[in-house]
Amino acid sequence: MDTCDPSVIQALSRRDFLRICGTTAALLGVGQTAVPRIAEALEKAVARRPSVVWLNFASDTGCTEALIKANYPNVAQLILETLSLDYNETIMAAAGVQSEEVLQGALKRGDYILIIEGAIPTRKGYGMIARREMLDIGKEFAAKAKAVIAVGSCATWGGVPAGDPNPARLKGVREALGVECINLDLCPVNEGILVATLVDLLLTDRIPALDGFGRPKIFYGQTIHDQCERRAHFEAGRFVERFGGNEEELGYCLYKVGCKGPMAYANCSKFRYNDRVSWCIGAGAPCIGCSEHGWVDKFAGFYERLPGVKIPGIEGVEAGADKIGLVAGAATAVGIVTHAIGTTVSGRFKEKPPPEEAEKAPE
Ligand code: SF4
Ligand code: SF4
């Protein structure tokens, strides 16, 4: 897939382009005053043509699908054309020998941003592309990358393919390849988070501050529960008791029908899915906690109530939902310290010094 010149930004339409910059500014928490700076950085990026290589391993390609279906703003176009996406075998026009040449060319030049979608089988013979182990391909490309981004649960920790019993011993990028990477959890990845992460890399030339699971703290620093539009119902003890009942129509809290929002760290209510139209809880489905490592087995029984959460005003149980969030947050903070010792992201992008408050557990 060949790339573009600065006219692409005009082709994207100035309004859409600025909308992407505005959304990115909101997600990065830098305020709308940063929009001109983001726009300028992206325009400069076109001239530099930062190379992006997207490798697919064991997954259903749902993250690529999520990316190319987003039209408002057209983030796919931004990544495909504004940034130089050299290789993505699912959507590139080239095939066979031609696509392999493109891939090898990118490898030879090096210094690309490597995006990996899909889990990596660590057992020999369980995941091959063109007679090569996915594991070996991943190692080869990660070694020459400027930064590595794992998109979606499969790439961050193994995801659905790594659910018990996991005969192929599928793992996420960090564990399988032994490299540091930015983990963009969620199933599928939220395209807004991906674009904001790429823009942040371009703006600062540094990786963002990460939590213990390698997730940018700016997007994964608070629980779904803390940002949920149904939270007032939770506090007031108004719950959906079963699907199909009146409470469902009234938009009550979904905790009793399995919502894992108190244990899941992500900002889904903010950016939403499907062109920002809606998100799981907004559409009436309990959160299944897909932002968390191990969610497939850990949260199995997706419609079963999460144990140990105090229901306000009704039961005096073990721990409140906020406390549960704090426990998970404290574990994250321990991970942050470990992470700070070992992180270099392939040694090229430096990690941003974590802000003071980053070491604290979310409140
Ligand atoms: S339990 Fe789920 S639906 Fe209820 S307030 Fe928390 S996140 Fe929202
Ligand atoms: S709301 Fe929950 S289940 Fe839905 S995408 Fe976000 S973390 Fe995943």
Ligand 2 pocket by C-beta < 6 Å: which residues? 186, 224, 264, 266, 268, 279-281, 287-291
Closest C-alpha to ligand 2, atom 8: 290
CB contact at 8 A, 290 and 186: yes
Q: How far is ligand 2, taken at its centre, from the CA of residue 132, in Å?
A: 34
Closest Cα to residue 67, out of 94, 90, 47?
Answer: 90
CB contact at 8 A, 313 and 237: yes
213 lines ligand 1 (CB under 6 A): no
Q: What percent of the chain is modeled with pLDDT above 90? A: 51
- Residue 292 token pair: 């968390």
Beta bridge partners of 88: 54
- Residue 309 token pair: 């959460």
228 lines ligand 1 (CB under 6 A): yes
Query: Which bound ligand lies closest to the C-alpha atom of 225?
Result: 1
Query: Which bound ligand lies closest to the C-alpha atom of 310?
Result: 1
List for the chain the helix, strand, coil content (%; round to 5). 45, 15, 40
| 351 phi and psi angles, rounded to 5 deg | -80, 140
255 lines ligand 1 (CB under 6 A): yes
Q: 250, exposed or middle or buried, with CB in 10 Å at 0-12, 13-18, 19+?
A: exposed
Report the mean per-residue pLDDT for the chain.
81
238 lines ligand 1 (CB under 6 A): no
CB contact at 8 A, 343 and 351: yes
Q: Specify the pLDDT at position 335.
A: 32
Query: Which bound ligand lies closest to the C-alpha atom of 268?
Result: 2
Q: 241, exposed or middle or buried, with CB in 10 Å at 0-12, 13-18, 19+?
A: exposed
Q: Which of 193, 224, 302 to mutate to test the pocket of ligand 2 (most atoms within 8 A of CB)?
A: 224
Q: Which residues of the chain have pLDDT under 70?
A: 1-12, 46-47, 70-83, 313-363
Closest C-alpha to ligand 1, atom 1: 255
260 lines ligand 1 (CB under 6 A): no
* pTM, to two decimals: 0.83
Domains of the chain: 7-220 (3.40.50.700), 225-327 (4.10.480.10)
Q: Compute the distance between CA of residue 57 and CA of residue 295 in angstroms, rounded to an integer.
A: 20
